[in-house]
Amino acid sequence: MSVYYATPASPARYVVAESPVWDAQNSRLLWVDVEVGNVFVGRLSDGMVETSAHYEIGDKIGAVVPGDDGTLLVAAQDRLVVIATDGSRRDGPSILSGTASRSNDGACDPAGRFLIGTYHFDERENQDTLQRLEYDGTLSLIDTDLSISNGLAWSIDGTLMYSTDSAKGIIWVRDYDVSTGEVGKRRPHVKIASGYPDGIALDSRGNLWIAIWGKAEVQSFSPAGEPGSIVRLPAPHVSSVTFVGENLDLLLITTAYRDLDTQGLEHYPDAGRLFLADVGVTGHPTTPWNSSALK
């Protein structure tokens, strides 16, 4: 087992940095601060991420993805929002209505459909959802019984979908038909015994890299679900991962300083920063959102 160490890559610290995604068309990184409600755009430069733009949404944010036309699709607290290339915005469909929940992590499938999960903040259990934005702009339900729907990824050939069920500590896998959108029955792929699995990313070998909240680690697993490499960070709450750069040869890791008390913040002064690690593999490219869904 190989062990790697991540280094800070942002001067700023975020309450909950999340949903990092590399926009290959525009050579830029996108991410959000969930609690503050900001979307960030950045560039890689000399081992650091330099922020080039940000957008204040005004609500908590679950995720952002790049559109194939240069737009950004944002999962705000209870709705989707499209940010045009000139910075103007328009609302898309509602994700939630009348529930004590917000949007959570999301990603695009290999055909450019956007999937988005939810996060409850009341006492309900097993009622978080996973939804998909279809080509006609409607939302369809995939799961309705999750406990914090989180990271998403697809196998290299697109026939399998991985999804994180954080509170249960499970990464699910299921058959996925990219052409029709048909989704198979889910089954356990990886069980995390310590900490909580959060965001995930796939590398070019089909290995899954999983951010472990509360563990100060990213852990990798083979396509068969066997443990692989570990990345260690000087920040306990590791929220998500993505491969970045022109060659997708660096692992970008987001962290949070939420839930740390004064002593915890003193012990982990880099908590909430972005991090980079060279883990000896390249990433599998992600697909931009098919923007025709909300034209």
The catalytic site residues sit at 198
Cα torsion 160, 74, 14, 165: sign:
negative
Ramachandran quadrant class, 148 (left: phi over 0; alpha: psi -120 to 50; beta: rest): left
Strand-pairing partners, residue 82, are 73, 90
Are 195 and 183 within 8 A, CB to CB? no
Neighbouring residues of 19: CB distance < 8 A, sequence distance ≥ 6: 30, 31, 32, 61, 62, 63, 64, 65, 105, 106, 199, 240, 254
What percent of the residues of the chain are helix, what percent strand, and what percent coil, each to the nearest 5? 5, 55, 40
- Quote the tokens at residue 288: 């931009």
